[in-house]
Amino acid sequence: MSNILVTRSSMPDYSEYCEEIKKLWDSHWLTNMGIEHKTLQYELEKYLDCPHVVLYTNGHLALENVIAAMQFKPGSEVVTTPFTFASTTHAIVRNGLVPIFCDVNDYDYTIDVDKIEALITDKTVAIVPVHVYGNICDVERIQSIADKHNLKVIYDAAHAFAVKYKGVSSANFGDASMFSFHATKVFNTIEGGAVCFKDDTLVSIMNDMKNFGIRGPERVVFVGGNAKMNEFQAAMGICNLRHLDDEITKRKKVMERYRQHLENTEGIKLCKERDNVESNYAYFPVVFDGYKYSRNVVFERLAEKGIGARKYFYPITNSFECYVDYPTAGVEKTPVAAYLADRVLTLPMYADLELSDVDRICDIIKR
C-alpha cells in the first residue's frame, strides 16, 4: 500500500499546463509581470470578488510586505496568535514590531476576541489574526475592536482561499488579507501568494514593495525588494483555478467521510464551523483529549502504517527558540493554544484522497 501524506499538491493535467506555458517559449518572457501574471491577477480579482489582488512569489513575503506597507513605527505592538505557522509571527518581528500573543478560542481555534482588548496598549497599531485551517475569525467583532482603538487589521488568510462568510469572500475583510498559494494549499501556484484589499492607495505601494520601487525605466520611487511571482507560477495558478471548485467539492466529501467515522467518538474533538461559512476544507484537524491513546501515540501508529499526519501547529510560535528572550513569549500566556498544540493532529486532506483511504486512516485511529 502506498504512503499517504498530510496533503498532495493539486495539479492540472500535464498537457493543460504545457499548453499554458507554450506561449512562454514563443515570447521568452518569463517574469516581471508578463501575460500569465496579468491574466491570473485579473482572474483572481473576479474569483475573489475583490478590487485589488497583488501577486507575490510566496505568501510569507506578501504578509511581510503588507505589514511594511502600513509604515508602523518600529517597536509598535501587534496583537496576534501563536497557533499558526512560523510565518505569521516572523512577518511581524522582521518588520521591527512586537508580537503580543493573544490566545485562541477552543471552538474553531481562531483568535479569542474576548481577550483582545485587554492586550491593547498605547503602543498597539494593528491586529494580525489568522483564519487558521480556513476557519474564518470573528471578523465583525475584530473590526469593531479595531475601529474603537483605531487599529489596522491584516488577516493571515494563508489557509482561507475561496472561503466565504455571509456570502462575502475572505479577501474582503480588514484592511488587507494575505493568501498563500504554496504547493500544500487548496489553490497553488507552486509557490506563491497574494495580498488582497479594497483601498486604492495601497496598490502602488504593494507593487513597489515587490519590484524594487521601480515605476518606469528611469524612475525608482521606493526602497522595495523583489518578491514577484514568475510566469510559470502564474500559469500553474491559471490552470489550477479552472478546477478549483471541483477540488473543493471533492474535499468536502473527504471531510464528510472523516466526520462520519470520528464524530461522537469519546476523547476526539473535531473543529466547529462558524455559522454562515462556505468552507474550502483546507485541513482536517482532530484534537485528542481523553482518548484511549495520546496524540503522539496516534501520530506514531499512523506513521508506522505509512500515513503522514502532521502536528499543525506544534510547537506554537510563542515557544520558538528564537523568541525565548521576548517578554511576550511563553506558552503559559496562551493556555488554549498550548492545550491544542499538545493534542492536535491534522489528518491527510486533499481532493484526490480516496474515501477508502479515509476509512483506513480512521480504522487505524480507532483500533
Beta-strand (E) ranges in the chain? 4-5, 52-56, 77-80, 98-101, 124-128, 152-156, 164-165, 168-169, 176-180, 193-197, 214-216, 219-220, 268-270, 277-278, 284-288, 307-308, 344-347
Residue with Cβ nearer ligand T4K (196 or 291): 196
Q: Exposed/middle/buried for 163, CB within 10 Å: 0-12, 13-18, 19+?
A: buried
Q: Does 58 bind ligand T4K (CB under 6 A)?
A: yes
Q: Does 93 bind ligand T4K (CB under 6 A)?
A: no
Residue with Cβ nearer ligand T4K (155 or 258): 155
Buried b (16+ CB within 10 A) or exposed e, 296-329: eebbeebeeeebebbbbbbebbbbeeebeeeeeb
C-alpha cell at 119: 492586550
Among 83, 85, 165, 323, binds ligand T4K (CB under 6 A): 85
Which parts of 154-173 interact with ligand T4K (CB under 6 A)? 156, 158-159
Among 65, 81, 88, 89, binds ligand T4K (CB under 6 A): 88
Minimum distance from CB of 358 to ligand T4K (Å)?
Answer: 17
Residue with Cβ nearer ligand T4K (124 or 317): 317
Identify which range of 11-19, 152-160, 205-213, 286-294 contacts ligand T4K by CB under 6 A.
152-160
Q: Reduce the DSSP state of residue 42 to 3 states and report it.
A: helix
C-alpha cell at 341: 498544540
Q: Does 60 bind ligand T4K (CB under 6 A)?
A: yes
Residue with Cβ nearer ligand T4K (112 or 291): 112
Residue with Cβ nearer ligand T4K (183 or 203): 183
Q: Does 151 bind ligand T4K (CB under 6 A)?
A: no
Q: Reduce the DSSP state of residue 129 to 3 states and report it.
A: coil
Q: Does 87 bind ligand T4K (CB under 6 A)?
A: yes
Neighbours of 162 (CB within 10 A): 23
Q: Reduce the DSSP state of residue 211 to 3 states and report it.
A: strand
Q: Does 9 bind ligand T4K (CB under 6 A)?
A: yes
Residue with Cβ nearer ligand T4K (193 or 237): 193
Q: Does 189 bind ligand T4K (CB under 6 A)?
A: no
Q: CA distances (Å), 219 to each of 201, 212, 213, 222, 340, in order? A: 19, 11, 9, 10, 50
Position with the least CB separation from ligand T4K? 59
Which parts of 192-221 interact with ligand T4K (CB under 6 A)? 193
Phi-psi region of 140 (alpha: psi -120 to 50; beta: other; left: phi over 0): alpha
Which parts of 283-312 interact with ligand T4K (CB under 6 A)? 308, 312
Residues near ligand T4K (CB under 6 A) are 5-9, 58-60, 84-85, 87-88, 130, 156, 158-159, 180, 182-184, 193, 308, 312
